[in-house]
Amino acid sequence: MNSGNTRNVLVLGIGNVGCQILSNLESKSDFDKFTYISPSLEDFPQSSKGHFLKLDMKIGGSISIPMIRSLCKTQIDEISDSIISSDYVIITCNPGEKIGAALVPIIAKLCHDNDTKCIPVLSMPYDHETHRHFNAGTTLTKIKQYSSNIILIDNDEILESLPRIPISNAFDLIYSKIALSLSSLFSNNYEQLENILEITEDDKYSILSFGESSQDENTNAAVKNALQMLSNTTNPSSISRVLLFLNGNSKLSTTDVLSSINMIKGQVNESQISHNYSNTNSETMAVLISSGLSQTKFDDYDPLSNIFAGNNLDTDIEYHVNENLDIPILSD
C-alpha cells in the first residue's frame, strides 16, 4: 500500500474461500487489519497476524441461511466496533457458501448504517456448482442496496486461463492470483475505484478480470488475456467504465500503457477508461475492473429478482431464531 495512504481499511474473509483469498492477500499487501471468519479452525492460516472469529454453530447438521444468520449475529457484534471505525471494509467470500450468504448481508448493512464504505469481493460459484447458484444470486440481490460497490470474480474463467496443473494445486493458484490482482488495485487506486465502482440505479456489478504475459511478450498480450476473461462473463460492448492497472517490469513504458488503453477502447466502445501502473513485477499483469454492465452470466442465479423487480423472498436480514425451540434441521 502507498505509504501516504492514511485510510483505515479492514479486510474480512468469510468461510473457506474467503479465508483462503484473505490469507494470500495478507502475504501480498500491507493492509493493517485482517479478520478471518469461519466455523472451521482449518480455514485459519497459522502464519497470520490477523484476528480469528470462530463461529459457534449451535445447531448441527445442514441448516438454513436465515438460521445461520441469526445464530451468528451475536458473534458478528463482537467485531462491529472494528467495522464501524473503518473507512473501508473489504469482504472476500463465495456467496454460494451458506456462511457467506448468511453473513455478508449483515456486515454490509452494518457498514451502510454507519457510513462505512463496503466493498464485497465475491468469488462466484463454478458453473458446475448449480446447488450454490441460487444462494449466490439472492445474496447479490440483498447486498446491492447496502454496498458501495460489488466486485464479481468468475472462477471458471480463471481456471480456464491456468496451465495444465494438478487440480490440487489449481485452487491455491486461483486464490493467489485473485489476491495479487486485489492487492494491486486497492493499493494504488482508491479514488479511481470510488469513481468507477459507484453503483447507480442503472448499474449492476463490476467484474474483475486479469491477464498475464511473460518477459518476452508485450503488455498487449496481458491486456488481451484480461479482455478474453471478461468477454466470457459479460458483453464488453455494454461496459461504460473501466479501470486498467498494469504491473510490469522496469522496462514498462508510456508507449506500453497507451497501447494497452487503445486495445481496450477497441473492445468496450466509448467507455470511460482510467488507468494506473507500477513496474515492480518481473512479468506483466493487467487487471481490469469493468462496470456499468447491462448484463452478466450471473443474472439468472436469482430468477426471483426478475419476477419481483429486484427483491427476493428472504428480505429480512435481521431474522431471529429462538434457539431454545425444537427446530427441525433443513437440508440443502
Alpha helix segments (H runs only) across 78-208: 80-84, 98-113, 130-143, 155-161, 167-188, 190-197
CATH code: domain of residue 282:
3.30.1330.20
pLDDT at 167: 76
The verdict on 285 and 181 lying in the same domain is no
- What type of residue is 233? T
pLDDT at 149: 83
Long-range contacts of 35-43 (CB under 8 A, 24+ apart): 35/10, 35/11, 35/79, 35/82, 36/12, 37/12, 37/13, 37/76, 37/99, 37/103, 38/13, 38/14, 38/99, 39/99, 40/16, 43/15, 43/16, 43/19
Least confident of 4-13, 47-56, 249-258: 4-13
The verdict on 37 and 160 lying in the same domain is yes
Q: Total domain count for the chain?
A: 2
Which residues does residue 278 pair with via DSSP β-bridges, in sequence order?
247
Least confident of 21-35, 74-88, 218-232, 234-248: 234-248
Q: Is 275 helix (H, G, I), strand (E, B) or coil?
A: strand
In a domain, 199, yes or no: no
The verdict on 120 and 180 lying in the same domain is yes
CATH code: domain of residue 108:
3.40.50.1440
The verdict on 184 and 227 lying in the same domain is no
pLDDT at 60: 54
The verdict on 120 and 250 lying in the same domain is no
Q: Average pLDDT, stretch 144-160?
A: 89
In a domain, 118, yes or no: yes
The verdict on 76 and 156 lying in the same domain is yes
The verdict on 16 and 122 lying in the same domain is yes
Q: What grid cell was written down for 263? A: 486495445
Bridge pairing between strands 241-247 and 117-123: unpaired
In a domain, 184, yes or no: yes
CB under 8 Å to 280, separation ≥6 — which residues?
A: 247
What distance in Å separates the CA atoms of residue 176 and residue 165, rounded to the nearest whole number?
A: 15
pTM listed for this prediction: 0.86
In a domain, 327, yes or no: no
The verdict on 254 and 121 lying in the same domain is no
The verdict on 184 and 217 lying in the same domain is no
pLDDT at 21: 95
The verdict on 91 and 237 lying in the same domain is no
What distance in Å separates the CA atoms of residue 137 and residue 244, rounded to the nearest whole number?
A: 27
The verdict on 50 and 170 lying in the same domain is yes
What distance in Å separates the CA atoms of residue 243 and residue 289, rounded to the nearest whole number?
A: 5
Domain boundary among 188, 221, 248: 188
Q: Is 315 helix (H, G, I), strand (E, B) or coil?
A: coil
pLDDT digits (tens, 9 = 90+) for 221-277: 999 999 999 888 888 887 888 888 888 877 888 898 899 999 998 888 667 888 888
What distance in Å separates the CA atoms of residue 236 and residue 173, rounded to the nearest whole number?
A: 26
| Residue 197 pLDDT > 60 | no
Bigger pLDDT: 254 vs 191: 254
pLDDT at 216: 66
The verdict on 246 and 149 lying in the same domain is no
* Owning domain of residue 226: 210-291
